[in-house]
Amino acid sequence: MKELIVQSSKDIESLKEHLKSSPAFIKFFSPYCGYCHMMQPEWIKMKNTLKNNYNDNLIVVDIPPEFMNELDVEINGFPTMVAMGPQHYKHHFQGNRSSEDFVNFLSSIGYTKREKKVKSKKTTRSRKTSKSSKASKASKKTTRSKKACKSSKKTTRSKSASKKTIRKN
């Protein structure tokens, strides 16, 4: 995987040359866009995943607003992610903005080929931990609600009993 941050028209020309024979995943962004800033850590994580686990000639490109009209792509807002291929295919990304979804998107359209597995034991453990902690929290809630229910029954019984004694007098 190669990486390109477009900073001049020469970069656009080299991208167009690359697109003649190889695919690219392009992010159109604005430095003033809050969504672009929020997505940036996931974009970097996706780049690292592609570098470490995939062996292909995909290029990942960041294009700022001043160069967005250089390619024939419809952009309605920022960030816009588009996968482009050698036959001028354009696939607009419309999923969640997470590194996993980016990689899955590229795999689903055939732009990446997995070299080795991505899963690690750490993620599996954290999922198990979160499931068990959710289960323990749920059991604590049910225990609390049962106790609260019992105590409310006791108070209603004692109130009704005191009402009966008042009425008799």
Query: pLDDT tens, position by position, for the chain (169 residues)?
Result: 888 899 999 999 999 999 898 899 999 999 999 999 999 999 999 999 998 877 678 899 999 999 988 888 888 899 999 999 887 678 999 999 999 999 999 988 888 776 554 454 444 444 444 555 555 555 555 545 554 555 444 444 544 454 454 555 4
Closest CA to 78 of 97, 59, 102: 97
Give start and end residues of each alpha helix (H) in the chain. 9-19, 34-53, 99-108, 121-168
Nearest-angstrom CA–CA distance, 115 and 54:
5
Structure tokens at 73: 């792509």
Q: Model-level pTM? A: 0.65
> What ranges do the domains of the chain cover?
2-108
Which option is the CATH number for 2-108: 3.40.30.10, 3.40.50.1980, 3.40.50.300, 3.20.20.150?
3.40.30.10
Direct distance between the N- and C-terminal alpha carbons of the chain, in angstroms, rounded to an integer: 90
